[in-house]
Amino acid sequence: MSSLPDGRIAVYTGTFDPITFGHLDIIRRGSAIFERIVVGVGINPEKATLFTPEERVDQVRRVVAPFRNVEVKFYYGLTVQFVRQVGARVMLRGLRTTSDMEYEFSMSLANLILDPEIETVFLMAQDEYSHVSSTLIRQIATLGGALDKFVPPEVKEPLLRRVRDHPQPPPPAERELRPPER
């Protein structure tokens, strides 16, 4: 007989490569709603990450340290299985845009089929974070932009070191973009 998951525990998952102020806002708000938040740092096989799973877990742990009811765990596999494993009943998700809404809606329906006892709760992103994604942050860092409004200091420095130590190849020169002359 399986034990009923706990509705006072919510799980917030992502790759967090890197964790942003937008992620932290969802964690902060979720921690005020639920007794316990488990942040699941996962691997998405469709995403190439800048940081290793261990580095991402460490970064997330450092920035959520002020929240007494938040813990961080690494996971691999289906999110619903991870949610069940930690004894939760709720998946917490942030929504930034309508494209997020379409993706998250499809995922929540699939997750309900996989485990009907687990619900998804959505929190809308604050206006100031609605455009922020980890992909955007990596691009800003790579191109030398200011990061202070997007990521905490505990993330900013390792991010700058990583892009400095592992530079991306420059875009093709203009002449390479022109069609060959005939």
106 is annotated as an active-site residue: no
Catalytic residue among 61, 96, 156, 162: 96
Provide the H-helix boundaries in the chain. 21-33, 53-64, 79-85, 98-114, 134-142, 153-165, 174-177
Place of tokens 């030398």: 144
Catalytic residue among 47, 149, 161, 164: 47
Quote the crossing angle between the two packed helices 134-142 and 153-165, to the nearest 10°.
Answer: 60
Marked catalytic residue, from 23, 84, 89, 138: 23
* Residues near 86 by beta carbon (within 8 Å), at least 6 away in sequence: 9, 11, 38, 40, 73
The active-site residue out of 56, 84, 89, 134 is 134
User: Is 134 a known active-site residue?
Assistant: yes
170 half-sphere exposure, CB direction, 13 A CA radius: 4
Note if 161 is an active site residue: no
Q: Which active-site residues does the annotation give?
A: 23, 47, 96, 134
